[in-house]
Amino acid sequence: MPIYEITIDGEEYEVDAPDEETALAALNIGDQTTMSEDLQGFGTKILDGLLFGFGDEASSAALAAIDSTRARLFGKELSTMGEEDFSASYEKMLNRQRDVEQRFQEQSPGIALAAEVAGGVGTGLLTGGAALKGAAKLAGKAGTTRGSML
């Protein structure tokens, strides 16, 4: 079994456990997110804003596609989820993604909200800008037609 070195408030602990979640649970800090999970949660919240709440599904689908392809090409032991089947890998990735996103939102609600709003603003600007551009083209054509009739 691997030995995980975990640092908490400057104190370093070595935990012999089958995976990182079990090691964190042994130290009773399983509900805290790591820095990489915080970044993952932040990115998912931005994607949620951009994709109308489907950020976790989109990222899970992309990760599952990569993982199941890696499992088929190099063997299950080199994949993250240990699944060759896309749908099984997707379900595991989606559950993990939602867990990380929920813990990030609970620990940093302000940052999570700001990230989701920022993603939504980006979507609004893109779609709104396209709509305004299309409206301007239509208005220009209508104006030209009216002007040529005079």
The residue extents of the domains of the chain are 1-32, 33-135
Contact 64, 86 (CB under 8 A): yes
Contact 71, 130 (CB under 8 A): no
Contacts of 117 (CB under 8 A, 6+ apart): 49
Contact 50, 120 (CB under 8 A): yes
Question: How many Å apart are CA 15 and CA 109, to the nearest integer?
Answer: 30
> Dmax over Cα atoms in the chain, in whole Å?
86
Global pTM?
0.59
Contact 91, 80 (CB under 8 A): no
Question: How many Å apart are CA 117 and CA 49, to the nearest integer?
Answer: 6
From first to last of its 150 residues, the chain has per-residue pLDDT tens of 788 887 776 778 788 888 877 777 776 655 556 788 888 889 889 988 888 889 899 989 998 898 888 888 888 777 777 677 888 889 988 998 898 888 889 888 999 999 989 888 877 777 777 777 777 777 665 555 554 454
Strands 11-16 and 3-8: antiparallel
Kind plus residue range of the DSSP H or E element containing 1: none
